[in-house]
Amino acid sequence: MVGWNCNRKQSHCPNPGEDSALFFPGGGGEAPQPPRYTPILPIACCRIIPLITNMTTLPSGNGGPSLTHDPCQYGISNTRTNNNTSNSIHGNSNQNIGNVSNSYNNTITVGISEEASGIRRWLSPLEPHARHQDVRNRRLDGVGNWVLGEDEFESWRKSQDGSANRTLLCYGDQGAGKTYIR
Amino acid sequence: MLTRDYNSSLVIDSLCDQTYGHNIAVLSLYCDYQAQKDQSAVNMIGGLLRQVALGPAGIVGGIQNAFDRSRQGGGKSLRLQEMLELFVKIIGSLERVYICIDAMDELVPQHRSEFLRALRQITQEAPNTRLFLTGRPHIRAELDNHLTKGAYTIHIVPDQGDIARYLTRKMDDDDARDPDLMTENLKNDIMETMLEKASDM
């Protein structure tokens, strides 16, 4: 598997071209099945093409992995014709657009839902997911982990709804980053 | 930056880990001085709205309706207040929403105060929100003034272990380009000097 740690749980793997919440509800397998599509792949993890070409068969029916993202937004379909299963995925990535066929005649179409994409652009030109992917790809294992062990972090994370203090501020200088190391 | 944006991305991923399977959203925004002109309050809140626009049943109804109305009216953008109302309404159905914003100091001051007001409105109107902000110390008073007074705070300092890990990686990368270029002695010298400098900061 290449790219974004696709073996991790799906909720950590925001699609680089995707814009949904990094974790959006529905990931527990409780997402209602959309009327027209059947989820077949954990494509929230993106890097769809290598994922698919490595597969020998694609699961069909409702037995596919639960998705943290709405299958509708990717336009996934799975149709069985005679002995072949044809799978198509219309991803909403800005980067992964194309067709891939594997040895089992599964044609994968990775496109973009025009309207969903238009709505996102209409809301804002910012693409926070891309920056997050960039930073997390550069991040070294272990760096900064100490923050997660701080009492303040834990208190904030567990703060009650509506409590006066539900904000955590981390402040610091540029530190040893750009100034000294680059 | 070695520490700060790493910290943000780490916190975001950690929250994703911990909230897996729950009705919880983790939203993020990274401010960047190179993109200041795009980072107005309305675009920032729009950036949050983008992340909740696609729910389990497709485009969230409220956003779709607003978009359709806008299209009929010539494609006008939403105003900040309209966005805030939509956002608060949409996240109302979630158990909890984490909003993580990195490098508040990199926003233009004028945008920043408007954005801070918007964030305050969100936290006041949506009790299920949790805010995570990072910034340099010089804007702390401003943040406190608008939003973060009494907030939990963590002072991010360069951690010696972090610096050593980062340096090792950088020097290994150099090695990969030309193995003869950097001797072990030179590596040790660099490591020692850098850690010493960092501890003086």
pLDDT average, residue stretch B62-76: 91
Does A2 fall in a domain? no
For A152, counting Cβ atoms within 10 Å of its Cβ (0-12 exposed, 13-18 middle, 19+ buried), the class is middle
pLDDT average, residue stretch B59-77: 91
Write down the pLDDT at residue A175.
Answer: 53
CA B162 – CA B191 distance, rounded (Å): 12
Write down the pLDDT at residue B116.
Answer: 96
Domain co-membership, A98 together with A135: no
Write down the pLDDT at residue A97.
Answer: 38
Which of B148, B169, B185 is the endpoint of a domain? Answer: B148
A-B Cβ pairs (cutoff 8 Å, strict): 302
Whether A168 and B55 lie within 8 Å, measured CB to CB: no
Residue A81 has pLDDT above 70, yes or no: no
Contacts of A156 (CB under 8 A, 6+ apart): A165, A166, A167, A168, B130, B132, B152
Place A156 in a pLDDT band, splitting at 50, 70 and 90.
very high
Does B139 fall in a domain? yes
Amino acid at residue number A19? D
Does B133 fall in a domain? yes
Contact A65, A9 (CB under 8 A): no
Does A148 fall in a domain? yes
pLDDT average, residue stretch A54-81: 37
Give how far B130 is from chain A: nearest CA, Å. 5
Write down the pLDDT at residue B56.
Answer: 73
Overall number of domains in chain B: 2
* Helix orientation angle between B4-19 and A128-138, rounded to the nearest 10 degrees: 100
Domain co-membership, A45 together with A113: yes
Whether A24 and B197 lie within 8 Å, measured CB to CB: no
Domain co-membership, A30 together with A80: yes
pLDDT average, residue stretch A141-153: 83
Write down the pLDDT at residue A102.
Answer: 36
CA A64 – CA A58 distance, rounded (Å): 9
Place B46 in a pLDDT band, splitting at 50, 70 and 90.
very high
Q: Is A25 on the interface with B (CB under 8 A)?
A: yes
Domain co-membership, B111 together with B86: yes
Domain co-membership, A110 together with A137: no
Write down the pLDDT at residue A119.
Answer: 92
Q: What is the pLDDT of residues B118-128, one digit of tens each?
A: 999 999 999 99
Amino acid at residue number A4? W
Instruction: Using a pLDDT cut of 90, give the percent of chain B over it.
Output: 48
Whether A23 and B166 lie within 8 Å, measured CB to CB: no
Write down the pLDDT at residue B157.
Answer: 78
CA distances B199 to A176, B116, B165, B196, Å, are 10, 33, 15, 5
Domain co-membership, B117 together with B194: no
Domain co-membership, B137 together with B170: no
Domain co-membership, A148 together with A111: no
Q: What is the CATH number of the domain that holds B20?
A: 3.40.50.300
What residues make up the domain containing B179?
Answer: 160-200
Domain co-membership, A22 together with A59: yes
C-alpha neighbours within 13 Å on the C-beta side of residue B84: 18
Domain co-membership, B135 together with B183: no
Q: What is the pLDDT of residues A119-143, one digit of tens each?
A: 999 999 998 888 788 877 777 777 7
Does B21 fall in a domain? yes
Domain co-membership, A114 together with A48: yes
Instruction: Compute the mean pLDDT over every residue in chain A, rounded to the nearest whole number.
Output: 55
Q: Is B6 on the interface with A (CB under 8 A)?
A: yes
Overall number of domains in chain A: 2
Copy the structure tokens of residue A45.
């993890």
pLDDT average, residue stretch B15-35: 87
Domain co-membership, A161 together with A96: no
Residue A54 has pLDDT above 60, yes or no: no
Does A57 fall in a domain? yes
pLDDT average, residue stretch A61-72: 37
Mutate to test the interface with B, among A13, A15, A24 (most CBs of B within 10 A): A24
Question: Which chain A residues touch B43 with a CB distance below 8 Å?
Answer: 124-126
Write down the pLDDT at residue B189.
Answer: 85
Contact A147, A170 (CB under 8 A): yes
CA B55 – CA B39 distance, rounded (Å): 25
Write down the pLDDT at residue A182.
Answer: 26
ipTM of the complex: 0.83
Domain co-membership, B182 together with B96: no
Domain co-membership, B40 together with B137: yes
Does A5 fall in a domain? no
Q: What is the pLDDT of residues B148-199, one digit of tens each?
A: 888 999 988 777 777 777 777 777 777 666 767 777 888 888 888 877 877 7
Write down the pLDDT at residue B4.
Answer: 57
Domain co-membership, A136 together with A112: no
Q: What is the pLDDT of residues A14-25, one digit of tens each?
A: 444 456 665 555
Write down the pLDDT at residue B201.
Answer: 57
What residues make up the domain containing A29?
Answer: 10-121
